[in-house]
Amino acid sequence: MDTDVARQLLDLNRRFYRDFGAAFAATRRRLQPGVLRAVQILPDSGRWLDLGCGSGELARHLAQGGFRGSYLGLDSSGELLAEARRDLPAAPGFDVAYRQADLVDPAWAAGLEVASWQILTCFAALHHLPGNELRTRILQQARSLMAEDGRLVLSVWQFQHSPRLMERRQPWERVGLDAADLDPGDTLLDWRYALPGQPEQTGLRYVHRFERAELAELAAASGFEVQEEYESDGEGGRLGLYQLWKGH
């Protein structure tokens, strides 16, 4: 992907979370069933690094469930992190911290101990990162942080299984781009939500639709292999594809 096109896509999503962060967080007050399932299959103690932690709902759930160890949530959105920090979970033996970090920045992992994190999660974030080169670099960095016996669980959006979401596809001309400059699977979706007492808000986001073969190639290029997968979430239980990766 052309670097200028990738930059425009990243700027588009940054504007979305800047302008709609509070409203978006209000729609994410509970964890998706697929995330809850992932928590069940992962260890109940250790060092947990969450890439794209959003408004902190996962850390709250871990605290309530008795997770022992430490949790660090990274996110590029100051608005979402502000939501996370408003209600920091307190539980014996569980340390929670948040850090603003943009995975697009090559230095996002600076200061994090390499080969020391037993659990890495990246829920609903990878599909907002444009271009295979960028995704591979970020996941290679994540691999360097993972302990020898560590695991990474990620999820990507399968909006193609929802007729309602497919109707929200928008032409790239709305944001000054040509579809010929985008990669297969790249999609522009609108987002609508109304806070109580306020008119409906509409935003635009870039999303990439992954094929399974594409994810397998990405895992291999990043130093991982796919160990297991499942579908979950939303209408029909198929709007999220979850994969558990281990290092190789």
Burial 39-76 (b: 16+ CB within 10 A, else e): beebeeebbbbbbbbbbbbbbbbbbeeebebbbbbbbb
Q: How confident is the model at residue 29 (pLDDT cuts 50, 70, 90)?
A: low
Q: Looking at the chain, which runs of residues are DSSP E strands? A: 45-51, 68-75, 94-100, 117-123, 146-157, 186-193, 201-208, 224-232, 240-247
pLDDT of residue 191: 87
pLDDT tens digits, 141-170:
999 999 999 999 999 999 999 999 999 999
Cβ contact 151:245 at 8 Å: yes
Residue 144 has, within 13 A of its CA and on its CB side, a CA count of: 13
Domains contained in the chain, number? 1
Measured distance CA(103)–CA(164) in Å, rounded? 30
Domain holding 209, by residue range, is: 3-247
* CATH classification of the domain holding 15: 3.40.50.150
Q: Where is pLDDT greater, at 12 or 88? A: 12
pLDDT tens digits, 61-90:
999 999 999 999 999 988 889 889 988 888
